[in-house]
Amino acid sequence: MSRIAAFALASSVLALVQPAAAARGGDELIVGVTYELKSLNPLYISGADRLLLGPLVYSRLLSATPEGDLTPEVATEVPTQENGGISQDGLTITYHLRRDVRWADGQSLTARDVIFTHEADMNPKSTVIETYGDKEIAAISAPDAYTVRVRLKRRFSPFVSYFDRPILPAHLLDKLESLDKADYNGNPVGSGPYRVAEWARGDHVTFVRSETFWGRKPAISKIVERTIPDATTLAIQLKSGDIDIAENIDPHGAELLAGRPDLEIFRTFYRFGLIIFNASDPRLSDVRVRRAITLAFDRKNAVRKATDGFDETANPARALFGWAYDPSIKPLPYDPAAARKLLDAAGWKPGPDGVRVRGGQRLQLTLITQAGHPSLTTEMTQMLQQEKAVGVALDIKAYVDQQFLLLTPDGPLWGGHFDITLTRFVGGGDPDPDWLIGCDAAGKTNTYNFTHMCIPGIAPVLTDGVSTYDRARRTRDYRIVQRSLNEWLPLVVLSQSPTLSAGPKRLRGYHPSKYGGPFWNVTSWRFSS
């Protein structure tokens, strides 16, 4: 079916559906999301998932403005060397806490909770998702109930940005040996503006306003996050009124919302599109093969076609490196002739059916991506055709988000059960890419270095980049990293990929943030009359 025909069909279906929003209370919202939360304990989720939960239920030491500037939340100020929060040797960080923060059960939030959250994150008996930031801590203490002092193992300049876990209640959890099977993971007690009233796994989570919240009381009394795995269906339900806000609309779905004066679409750049090579596979451990696959894929045109121009391809790595990005480092061009020469040089010769063969083995690789996202499907189709033209066969496996993001060794991405991945990642607020390409994570499952590769010579450069607070020096380091990525190609950044969100114009204050997600300022949301 053509896209025009699909659009016409969807529009005719929508014409038969009556808006349902009017049936809800005037201070209630239904938010459609494509991701299903696997846990309500933030230590067991990450990235976009954590942004859908954390700002509603939990508090953090610091938060960030839409521009990426750190601001105090539970901490009274952002630690810096200028205000004495960071020692002159860069190894001691001190946080002073507010004294009016309360858990939903009425208990005070203190330094004990911050320390417990760190200890829970580092507990070897708990299979938490990530320890980035926390693993840099040599010691953590509480000089008093409202002061936290951290001593680092080494100078680590991104620490203040990354030591931002949603805080957990020690008084409810510190007697458990592991949090893996804690009842809390489905029935959390937080200190945020909302509390969880119901979790229907795979369908929705209902949040209601917390009467013990220490900050500004939200005007919206109830928020329901409904899981809608297909991005086009998400847009259809928004237009029909079955949901009020749609997060992570696909550009194709955004077409369905055109001409609706009551809706506003937001384009927030906090993701980047990328191809990941599993370099632990002997066929892909050869940089010539990775380079050939990259050269054979007309990435710019594929992304433009797939996203109707929503994704930006001119400077794709900017989404990963931020203020340290070097625009002089140009991505590889589209050059299938050069790709064929590289594959020939690597010993891969065309077989009878056109698929290249070496030593009796076919160059047939498994490409995984996320189902329910038409833009990824289009990019995948383009890649399949163009790689076939140079003799590389791709077997496609598409997983719904819940499967693709399965955070266990059985998960296709986290478990390393792939040769090539085509996906989107959420960027961070600091240009340090160690979380994605760090050598200490290479070859391990359940880390973000899905390439399973340590780029030659990169480890000391990454170390130097975090050992100084001098931005000029860090910029030089990360530009070396960018050149190394462009040379060794364990992964290829395709685009700066905006998250498209839409909601009613009468909802004042709703404006998703690159750094805080959709709910970063939920306490300021109001319906206009």
Long-range contacts of 257-262 (CB under 8 A, 24+ apart): 257/502, 261/505, 262/504, 262/505, 262/506
| Maximum distance among all Cα pairs of the chain, rounded to whole angstroms | 74
Kindly report the CA angle at 483 between 477 and 487, in degrees rounded to 5?
A: 140
**What CATH number is given to the structural domain containing 435?**
3.10.105.10
Q: Say whether both 145 and 200 belong to one domain.
A: no
Predicted confidence at residue 4, as pLDDT, reads 26
Burial 248-274 (b: 16+ CB within 10 A, else e): bbbbbbbbbbeeeeebbebebbbbbbb
Predicted confidence at residue 24, as pLDDT, reads 56
DSSP 8-state code for residue 19 = P
Predicted confidence at residue 509, as pLDDT, reads 94
Predicted confidence at residue 1, as pLDDT, reads 30
Q: Say whether both 464 and 381 belong to one domain.
A: yes
Indicate if the pLDDT at residue 402 is higher than 70: yes
**Which residues have a Cβ under 8 Å from the Cβ of 253 and sit 6 or more positions away?**
231, 232, 234, 235, 236, 246, 374, 500
Task: Give the mean pLDDT of 202-231.
Answer: 94
Indicate if the pLDDT at residue 387 is higher than 70: yes
Q: Name the residue type at position 420.
A: I
**Which residues have a Cβ under 8 Å from the Cβ of 125 and sit 6 or more positions away?**
177, 178, 180
Q: Say whether both 481 and 520 belong to one domain.
A: no
Q: Say whether both 483 and 346 belong to one domain.
A: yes
- Do 228 and 204 touch, CB atoms closer than 8 A? no
Query: How many whole angstroms separate alpha carbon 224 and alpha carbon 230?
Result: 18
Query: Where does 278-376 show beta strands of DSSP type E?
Result: 349-350, 356-358, 361-362, 364-370
% pLDDT > 90, the chain = 69
| Per-residue pLDDT reduced to its tens digit, 436-482 | 999 875 555 446 889 999 999 999 999 999 999 899 999 999 999 99
Predicted confidence at residue 378, as pLDDT, reads 93
Coil vs helix vs strand at 267: strand
- Do 355 and 363 touch, CB atoms closer than 8 A? yes
**What CATH number is given to the structural domain containing 102?**
3.90.76.10
The tokens 């390393």 sit on which residue? Answer: 416
Does residue 39 lie in a domain region?
A: no
Does residue 454 lie in a domain region?
A: yes
Predicted confidence at residue 25, as pLDDT, reads 59
Long-range contacts of 284-290 (CB under 8 A, 24+ apart): 284/365, 284/419, 284/420, 285/453, 286/346, 287/487, 287/488, 287/489, 288/342, 288/343, 288/345, 288/346, 289/342, 289/343, 289/346, 289/348, 289/363, 290/488, 290/489, 290/490
Does residue 41 lie in a domain region?
A: no
Query: How many whole angstroms separate alpha carbon 187 and alpha carbon 195?
Result: 9
Task: Using only the alpha carbons of the chain, give its radius of gyration.
Answer: 24
Q: Say whether both 510 and 403 belong to one domain.
A: no
Does residue 453 lie in a domain region?
A: yes
| Per-residue pLDDT reduced to its tens digit, 164-175 | 899 999 999 999
Predicted confidence at residue 12, as pLDDT, reads 30
Q: Say whether both 135 and 218 belong to one domain.
A: no
Mean pLDDT across the chain: 89
Q: Name the residue type at position 132.
A: Y
Of 176 and 129, which is predicted with more confidence? Answer: 176
**Given 156, 185, 214, which residue is the final one in a domain?**
185
Tokens of 406: 């399965």
**Given 185, 210, 242, which residue is the final one in a domain?**
185
Q: In what order do the strands lie in the sheet with 147-152?
A: 92-96, 147-152, 137-144
Q: How confident is the model at residue 20 (pLDDT cuts 50, 70, 90)?
A: very low
Tokens of 430: 């600091």
Give Cα separations from 277 to 80, 343, 387, 423 (angstroms): 38, 16, 14, 12
**Which residues have a Cβ under 8 Å from the Cβ of 22 and sit 6 or more positions away?**
241
Q: Say whether both 352 and 465 belong to one domain.
A: yes
Q: How confident is the model at residue 232 (pLDDT cuts 50, 70, 90)?
A: confident
Indicate if the pLDDT at residue 490 is higher than 90: yes
Domain of 234 in residue numbering reads as: 3-34+192-262+505-527
- In this structure, of 11-25, 405-419, 492-506, the range with the lowest mean pLDDT score is 11-25
Of 26 and 143, which is predicted with more confidence? Answer: 143
Indicate if the pLDDT at residue 144 is higher than 80: yes
Q: How confident is the model at residue 430 (pLDDT cuts 50, 70, 90)?
A: confident
pTM score, whole prediction? 0.79
Predicted confidence at residue 407, as pLDDT, reads 66
**Given 161, 185, 209, which residue is the final one in a domain?**
185
Predicted confidence at residue 10, as pLDDT, reads 30
Q: Say whether both 359 and 471 belong to one domain.
A: yes
Task: Give the mean pLDDT of 496-509.
Answer: 89
Does residue 252 lie in a domain region?
A: yes
Indicate if the pLDDT at residue 107 is higher than 60: yes
Of 154 and 402, which is predicted with more confidence? Answer: 154
% pLDDT > 70, the chain = 93
| Per-residue pLDDT reduced to its tens digit, 309-324 | 888 898 889 888 988 9
Task: Give the mean pLDDT of 55-59.
Answer: 97
Tell me which residue of 395, 382, 392 sits closest to 273, measured CA to CA.
382
DSSP 8-state code for residue 191 = S
**Which residues have a Cβ under 8 Å from the Cβ of 69 and sit 6 or more positions away?**
none
Predicted confidence at residue 6, as pLDDT, reads 30
Query: Where does 34-136 show beta strands of DSSP type E?
Result: 62-64, 70-72, 92-96
Calculate the CA 140 to chain-centre distance: 28
Ranked by mean pLDDT, the top range of 122-136, 237-251, 276-290 is: 276-290
Indicate if the pLDDT at residue 364 is higher than 70: yes
Query: How many whole angstroms separate alpha carbon 329 and alpha carbon 352?
Result: 39
Q: Say whether both 492 and 519 belong to one domain.
A: no
Q: Say whether both 248 and 298 belong to one domain.
A: no
Query: How many whole angstroms separate alpha carbon 199 and alpha carbon 206?
Result: 6
Q: Say whether both 111 and 24 belong to one domain.
A: no
Task: Give the mean pLDDT of 429-435.
Answer: 87
Q: How far apart are the first and last CA of the chain?
A: 42
Query: How many whole angstroms separate alpha carbon 502 and alpha carbon 250?
Result: 11
**Which residues have a Cβ under 8 Å from the Cβ of 424 and sit 6 or more positions away?**
271, 272, 273, 274, 370, 376, 497
Indicate if the pLDDT at residue 345 is higher than 80: yes
Predicted confidence at residue 464, as pLDDT, reads 95
Does residue 40 lie in a domain region?
A: no
Does residue 52 lie in a domain region?
A: no
Query: How many whole angstroms separate alpha carbon 95 and alpha carbon 107?
Result: 20
Predicted confidence at residue 299, as pLDDT, reads 97
Q: Say whether both 118 and 149 belong to one domain.
A: yes
Q: How confident is the model at residue 67 (pLDDT cuts 50, 70, 90)?
A: confident
Tally of structural domains, the chain: 3
